[in-house]
Amino acid sequence: MHAIVIDKPGGPEALSWREVPDPRPGPGEVLVDVTATAVNRADVLQRRGLYPPPPGASPYPGLECSGVVAGVGPDVEGVAVGDRVCALLSGGGYAEKVAVPWQQVMRVPEGVGLAEAAGLPEVACTVWSNVFMTGRLRKGETLLVHGGAGGVGTMAVQLAKAFGSRVVVTAGSAEKISLCVELGADEGINYRTEDFAEKVRADVILDIVGGKYLPGNVRALKTGGRLVVIGMQGGAKGELDLGTLLAKRASVHGTTLRARPVDEKGVIVRGVVENVWPLVDAGVIRPVIHTRVPMSEAAEAHRLLESGEHIGKILLVS
């Protein structure tokens, strides 16, 4: 098969489309003929050599895919050859075939094209696990989403609104804020011109910025609030004011999806299929796709992601 190989960490040009050995499904694994994958910020970090694949994962980038099941190893449950699926991966989505534990495989929601479905697993699992499982967002509470117009952001806005919360987003342009409001956001804050910590008090904050936003995020929490940090685009370290944290009886959570053991991913995936997919089936939630790029031109897709000008997901189709 062909896959995107990273010979040497570096810029987008480090990504080359090459012949590599086919993967084989091991015990508990499903082999997927990949229709599409999607670009995530973690792929950019991996390309730069800053986010090596966890032990046992494919060396190729790609944390999610869609396609058709082409084979199953022993001890696989609930998945059969010929099924149209999408899946959460530990890596290897930028390829014609990928092997994945059956616990991470999901049906394609109704009304969603097979390629389009490649853009759902990461954002759905990220939002479900962080906002609802870790952050325990409840009906009537306020969610603040940083980067509301990104892939994770657009899913967070839609899902939190569908579950009856108030949603405030930050984004870097009026156009991006408009999209978030169209998707249901109650309020948008342009982080280039406004200080979010002056404008909003939230029960749950979903943050991709990290260190730079830590003091503002803690200030923006309500009593009992939960700050969930899933990215560090603004640095890894920040000052934590425990005086405020204690007075608010608040918490700061850090998580990543990729490094979790298969069992934990399975719990998240089941939660998504039970709670998120019915809303996608019903058309309440829609995948927000910015564009599709041929998988062999992954470098182009990375340049686009790094420009920050996309809204929603960038798909790589084979």
Closest contact distance (angstroms) between CB of 134 and a copy of itself is: 8
Q: How far apart are CA 144 and CA 171, in angstroms?
A: 11
**How many Cβ atoms from other residues are within 10 Å of residue 245's Cβ?**
16
Assess 146 for contact with a copy of itself (CB under 8 A): no
**Binding residue (CB under 8 A) for a copy of itself from 20, 181, 259, 262:** 259
- C-beta of 92 vs 210, nearer to a copy of itself: 210
Shortest distance in whole angstroms from residue 76 CB to a copy of itself: 27
Q: Which of 37, 85, 89 is nearest to 63 (CA)?
A: 89
Count of beta carbons in the 10 Å neighbourhood of residue 81: 11
Nearest alpha carbon to residue 44 among 255, 228, 233: 233
CB of 99 to a copy of itself, least distance (A): 25
| Site for a copy of itself contains 147 (CB under 8 A) | no
Q: Which is nearer to a copy of itself, 178 or 251 (CB)?
A: 251
For 43-76, letters b (16+ CB in 10 Å) and e give bbbbbeeebebeeeebebbbbbbbbebbbbbeeb
Stretch that binds a copy of itself, among 88-96, 119-127, 256-264, 290-298 (CB under 8 A): 256-264
What CA dihedral angle connects 117, 276, 111 and 151, to 10 degrees?
-40
| Shortest Å distance, C-beta 265 to a copy of itself | 12
Angle at 209 between CA 286 and CA 100, to 5 degrees: 55
> 80 or 267, CB closer to a copy of itself?
267
**Taking the mean position of all CA atoms in its chain, how far away is CA 105?**
15
Three-class SS state of 162: helix
Joined together, the tokens standing for residue 299 give 């470098």
- Rounded CA-CA distance 116/285 in Å is 13
Segment interacting with a copy of itself (CB under 8 A) among 110-118, 229-237, 266-274, 309-317: 229-237
**What is the signed CA dihedral for 175, 159, 101, 25, rounded to 10 degrees?**
-50
- Is 263 near a copy of itself (CB under 8 A)? no
Task: Tell me which residues in 83-142 interact with a copy of itself (CB under 8 A).
Answer: 134
Residue 68 or 262 with smaller CB distance to a copy of itself: 262
- Measured from the CB of residue 85, what is the shortest distance to a copy of itself in angstroms? 26
Query: 88: closest CA among 111, 68, 118, 58?
Result: 118
Restricted to residues 167-196, the positions that interact with a copy of itself (CB under 8 A) are: none
Residue 71 vs 271, nearer CB to a copy of itself: 271
Cα distance between residue 22 and residue 150, in whole Å? 33
Among residues 173, 178, 190, 255, which is the contact residue for a copy of itself, using CB under 8 A? 255
Q: How far is the CB of 211 from a copy of itself (least distance, A)?
A: 6
Nearer to a copy of itself, 2 or 222 (CB): 222
- The token pair that represents 133 in the structure block: 């499982």
* Separation between Cα atoms, residue 145 and residue 242, nearest integer Å: 22
Region 230-249 residues binding a copy of itself, contact defined as CB under 8 A: 230, 232, 236-249
How far is residue 43's CA from residue 61's CA, in Å, rounded to a whole number? 6
Site string for a copy of itself, 198-227 (x = CB under 8 A): ------------xx--x-------------
Which residues form the interface with a copy of itself (CB under 8 A)? 134, 210-211, 214, 229-230, 232, 236-256, 259-260
